Structure formats: C-alpha cells, structure tokens
Amino acid sequence: MDIDPAGSPIPHSSHWGAFSVLRHGNDIQIVPHPSDPDPASLLGNIPAALTHRARIATPMVRRGWLEHGPGSDHRRGRDEFVALPWPDALDLAASELKRVYGEHGGKAVFGGSYGWSSAGRFHHAQSQVHRFLNVLGGYVKSVNTYSSAAAAVILPHVIGSQESAGRENVSWHELATETEVVLAFGGLPLKNTSVSSGGTSQHLARGHLLAAHGRGAEFHLISPLRDDLPPEIEPRWHPIRPGTDVPLMLGIAHTLMAEGLHDRVFLDRYCIGYPEFEAYLSGRSDGQPKDAAWAAAICDLPADMILKLARQSAGKRTLVTCAQSLQRAEHGEQPVWMGVVLAAMLGQIGLPGGGFVYAMGSLANIGKPSLAVPLPTLPQGRNRVAELIPVARIADLLLNPGAEYDFNGRRLTYPDIRLVYWAGGNPFHHHQDINRLRQAFSRPDTVIVHDSAWTASARHADIVFPATITLERSDMGAAGNDPLLVAMHPVAEPFGLARDDYAIFSDLAERLGVAAVFTEGRSADEWLRHLYEPTRAALVGLGLEAPDFDAFWAAGELVLPTLPWDGGVVREFRNDPDHRKLPTPTGMVEIASDTIAGYGYDDCLGHPAWLPPREGVGSPLMRDFPLHLVANQPATRLHSQLDFGTTSVASKVKGREPVRIHPSDAGPRGIADGDVVRLFNHRGACLAGAVISEAVRPGVVQLATGAWYDPLDPAADGPMCVHGNPNVLTRDAGTSKLAQACTGQLTIVQLERFEGAVPPIRAFDPPAG
C-alpha cells in the first residue's frame, strides 16, 4: 500500500508499543499512542533503523560457498561476501533447497525463527518461513522459548499450562485491589513490561503497582538486583545469592510446616503428593531439615528474616510471583515448581490476587484480559516432519547428529541437519556459549538467512537476503491480550534492494514449483484483507461495530472487545475441585509428581528440591571465578534488536555494554566508574564498561544480553567479544533432562580492569566484500 503523505501522523506498531510517525524530510519523529500511560523508552531506537550503516542493501553470498559450493566450512563468520543480483541469489538458494530436500528430505532442514522480528501479523517472519518450508515438505522444528522453556515443561505437570499459570491466573487489577503481600522472586521488573509479542497500546504495570502500594500492599523483592521492582513502591529488598531461590522457598515452607501455619485443608482437598514432599522438607527422607538456618547458609540471607517472611505471608492474601529469569538457570524447573508448592501451603491458589503467578512483569500484556475475537493470523500449514528439538539445543543438534537425548519423558535423536534456514531472529543473541555456537554453525552444508541488518547470524550465513523492516511495509499489529488492532502503514521505501520476506519466499516458491500453494494466488495486500476478515466476522457475530478493511485502514486502528477476567482454569478449580479439574495428570495441584518420578531423572526428582549447581554456590569453579554474572534482559532494547538505536547506544560506556559492579568488588580490583573491564571464565571473555553501583549485591555483576557480538579477531578460535555480549561466557547446557531449557541467566566469572589500547567497536560495520 502507498506511503501516507508527509505531515500526517502515520499509524504503526512495535513489540514495545503502538505509535505514530511524523515525517520531516528524511527524518522521522516517533509519537507514542495517546492512550499509553507509560510509553516505552525503546521507541527511541526506531528512527535509526531506516538508514543505519548496519542495514543490508543487496543480496550477498559468502565467497567460500560461492566458489566451492555447499559443505561444512569453518570460514563461516570469517569470510568475505559477494554481492549478487536478486535473480542470481534466488536461483542459488532455490537450487540448494531442491538438492537438500531431494537427497535428504525435510528432516535435514532446520527452520529457525524466533518470531520477534515484527509486531505485524502477516509479515511475521516465523510464520512466513515455517509456511514456506512446510510447502516444500516440512522441517525440523524447535519447541518452547529461550525465555520460558523450563516453565513451559514443568507447569503442565504441576498446575496447568504456562498460559493458565500466567496470563489467565492473576490480573494486574486483582493485584492492585486484592493482594496484601507479594513475594516477588526475581522481581517484577518494569523494563520487561515495556515489551509484549505483537505490541501493546497501554503499559499498565507501573500504575497498578503504585495502586497496590497506595492501598498498603507489602512488596518483598527477592533478587540480587535492587531495581527488579520500582523504588516508588518501597519494596523490601532481600539481596539473595543468585540461583538460591529454592532454598529460600524451602526455608519459608519449613517454617510454615513447623509452626502449623500451612493450610492443611487446602493441601488435602486440592493437592496430591504433599506427604512425600513433607518428608523431604522435614528431613525425614534425607536427614537434612530444610529449615530457615539451613536456607540462610545457602542464600546468604538472615534466618530470622526467613522466619519473618513465612509468618507475614501466612493468613493473608499472599501472591507468590516467579520471574522468567529464575528458570533460565541450571535446574530451572525447581523454583517454578517450588513457587507453586509454597502458594499451595499458604492455601492461596485460585484466590483473586493470591496464590501463584508465573512471569507476571515479564511481558506487558501478561495479567490483562484476553480478546473476545480472533486475531489476524497467517496459517503456517502442516509440518510433515516429526523430528524436533528443545529450542536451546540448537548447537547440540548441529554438532551431534545421531546422538540421543532425554526430553520430558521421551528419548529423542538429533537429526543430521544439512541446511539451516533462518528468518526473524538472531541465535547469536539468544544462544549461550557463542564460541561453541560458531563451531556448530560451521557444520551444515548451507545456512540461509533473511535479515535487515548485519547481525552475527547474517555474518555466519552463506546466502543473505536483505529483508525490509516494519516501517517499510504494510501490516496489522495485534496481540492476544491487548485491545487495539493497529493498521501499520508504511513510512518509507525499502532500504537499498531490501524486499519483504513474503516476496522473497514467493519468488523461491515460483522457482521450486510451489508458488500456487504458498501464495494461494494472493499479493501481500490481498493477504491483509483476507486475514482481517475473520476478525471482522467475529465482531459482526457479537453485534459490534465491524468496519470493512478499507475503513479500518483509513482509521488506523480498531478497538477490539475483551473477555471478562475470570481467573481461568485455576480459579474454576478452586471454586469447584470435583468438576473443574486442573489439566495435570491427576487433575490436582501436584506437589509431588509420579509422572516425573517415573522418568528416573537424577536432575529433576519427583518433587521440588534443592539441587546444587555445577557452576554457582558451592561449586569448586568459584575459586577461580568468584563472581556471579547475571545476564538479564536489557532495559534499552528488545533482545538485540536495534542495538544501534539512540536509546541503546546512549546507555553504553565507551561504546560498550555497561556492566554493574558493587563498590566492594570494584575497589580491590582497581576499577573505577567508566573503566573498560574484561570479564572472563573458562569459556571466553568480553569487554564491557564499568558502572559502579550498590543496586547489585556484593559478589554479583550484571551485564545485560543483546550487545551485538563483536569478536576481536573473527578468524581466531574463541575470540574475545569487545562489545560486551555475555553469551561468550554463559554455559550451553540444558536445565535438566526434563525441559532441556536455556540456562543463560547465570554464570560465574572473574573481572579485571582492561589494560592497553581499547579495541574499536566494529559490530555495526558491514563485513568485507
């Protein structure tokens, strides 16, 4: 569709909020949506996206692949690129797809995408690439997410789906009006509520937290970082050792049990497995009572504080919240499971504003009502390949074809991947142990990537197709828990020769003889009209205003109806446990699980338990690497998106990602505010800019994820990242045999002041070619 005339506000949307654009010559101004009470600062990154030097202007092919053909190649990420015309690059990609599918089938193709490249529902890269590969015969898929895979697997065994324990369980309104005590394990960080998949028109978290505080709700922040709750609600900060939330929960639970403060009626009526768990909690099964003194020694918090937390939580409308960060660590299933058990012992599960809620504060739209009508959604078709991997096992997949592994009670085998097709995502941001990932990406015959900019993933590809950004195309922005459907009008012409993912896949489909199936005879604009129709028809069915597509597009947005908040299946179970069972194996809250016990895993038992980490509290490795590194989500961008944007760049220290260090750790190392420092361990090293802060507990450093990987010497093995990507340091191992989830939140490091000439940042410079 045509670009709107200059001077008029152009409606658009992003994962971090709806907005409009004002064009002033070659410059643009971003204006937050007028209904948003707390717009995200990340909107400031958007203007740079249009013309930054990091943009990819033309199809590029890696020289080694062009000259020598497909095959494993350690030069990926180290090689030059050659610019090709679109027809030639498309011919090469189509020929290679035809070869791999013909010789090996879909089980030799990995379809990678993480779905965060656009808030638009049609130009949704994950849907586009999966639809395309399904038309060709299918692909090896990944399941779950880097953000939340451990919870996604453990929660259905214990209380229900991640949706029922998060999005549908406790609302922000209930927290503001009903909750008396919040035990916020990992906090409710407002920076994370800036973002939600598909976008948001209203950032409501801050207002609801302030309302709860004004009513007298008491917030307990259990985190090594003081700003994981906003200071204006005056939380009581309990600066716990990273990764020791389970011992603290056990110490609270032991106090409840020992002092008779646990809700025996609720445990008997709604739960199964409490006697087995109590045997562990009391020490009858292993000789070690999990009392407050035991917990205090592990998590480095006062025992009397643990006793007080238990007593203050009992008999009140208490909400136990568990942040996604807790389960992105070794044995990450345990804090989620133990959080449910703690809420069950308090008898609060299913009550308005009480019980357990997972991931509240992790996304903008969690805790908001669901829509009453369907959203526009591009169908992906049927995947005829059964093989899959847990999402964070991508390096294991590429490095170990034919190897067997455990996953949620199943014994699976890694297929032999010959071609990786990635669109809409940056695994060199999400994945851990980047040096190992580089080795993994050298193994396939061919890597094809769609990207708008020269991310590390694009640099490790063989064929790179330049993709448009949202500002350069028409789409519809929407999310399942936000009431605004946004007409995303284009703002600018595509950069260079960039094309929409749909156009790229359509041309490939034409070359492979499947265009009619992939496109169904529709242009991109015709797809928008087609996908809008189910939403419009549902509005008609409800007797509500239902403008046709042209009227919606001209208006720029449409307010959609929402469902009444009812607390979902957990509330139904609380109100009628005999007839409204939970979707667990027994229909009850499973404090102990016979199903999980039957798997026989040594790293995930049949009840929640404290399992010491290989790297962390009690680990011998901490003699050499005595600091805990918290590699959390950034406050200045979404993942690694638009790291070159104004908001992200402004936060950097001497061009590098900031690392927060407590004064007691900085002083003995001779580190001052603003110094460039080197973080290192047995896996790798990176540079960062020092920020001395008492907002981190002693013995902890915090370095957010998302700085674009920038190796000092790309040709070397295991090079230092000079820009501050913490995933050169994090461990690439699953949480346990149950979930095989990401463990990238925590690792251990040493830290020193960097001496010598500080290397330049080249992360945003195009590769040689």
Q: Which two tokens stand for residue 125?
A: 């890269």
626 closest CA partner among 751, 729, 752, 745: 751
Backbone angles phi, psi at 483, to 5 degrees: -85, 10
Quickly list H helices, 264-302: 264-270, 274-282, 292-299
Is the CB of residue 198 less than 8 Å from the CB of residue 366? Answer: no
334-352: b or e for each residue (b if 16 or more CB lie within 10 Å)?
bbbbbbbbbbbbbbbbbbb
* Stretch (H or E) spanning 26: none
| DSSP state letters, 160-222 | S-HHHHTTTT--HHHHHHT-SEEEEET---TTGGG--TT--S---HHHHHHHHHHHT-EEEEE
Q: Is 708 considered catalytic here? A: no
Q: By C-alpha distance, which of 598, 577, 606, 596 is closest to 271?
A: 577
Count of CA atoms in the C-beta half-sphere (13 A) of 712: 16
Neighbours of 521 (CB within 10 A): 7
Q: Which of 16, 65, 101, 114 is catalytic?
A: 114
> For the purposes of burial, counting CB atoms within 10 Å of the CB of 755, is it exposed (0-12), middle (13-18) or buried (19 or more)?
exposed
DSSP-derived 3-state class of residue 430:
helix
Distances (CA, A) of 573 to 165, 350, 693: 12, 7, 45
Is-contact 194 187, C-beta < 8 A?
Answer: no
Residue 589 and residue 409: Cα distance in Å, rounded? Answer: 20
Return the biggest CA–CA distance within the chain.
Answer: 75
Using CA atoms in the order 144, 149, 152, 153, what is the torsion angle rounded to 10 degrees? Answer: 100
Catalytic residue status for 116:
yes
Q: SS3 of 402, please?
A: coil
Amino acid at 715: A
Amino acid identity for residue 319 in this structure:
L
Residues 532 and 549: their CA atoms lie apart, in Å, by: 7
d(CA 533, CA 550): 12
Please identify which of the residues 16, 116, 139, 294 carries the catalytic annotation.
116
- 3-class secondary structure, 12: strand
Contact 36, 202 (CB under 8 A): yes
Cα–Cα–Cα angle for 165, 170, 174, nearest 5°? 175
Give which of 126, 105, 134 is closest to 416, Cα–Cα: 105
Token pair in block for residue 329: 């660590």
> Which residue matches tokens 């299918």?
138
Give bridge partners of residue 412 from the DSSP assignment. Answer: 405
d(C-alpha 16, C-alpha 635), whole Å: 11
Q: Quick one: tokens of 764?
A: 């945003």
CA distances from 214 to 218, 219, 229, 692 (A): 10, 12, 15, 32
* Adjacent-strand bridge partners of 218: 181
CA distance 710 to 705: 13
CB 739 within 8 A of CB 333: yes
Buried-exposed string 198-209: b where 16+ CB fall within 10 A, e elsewhere: bbbbbbbbeebb
Strand-pairing partners, residue 673, are: none
Residue positions annotated with a catalytic role = 114, 116
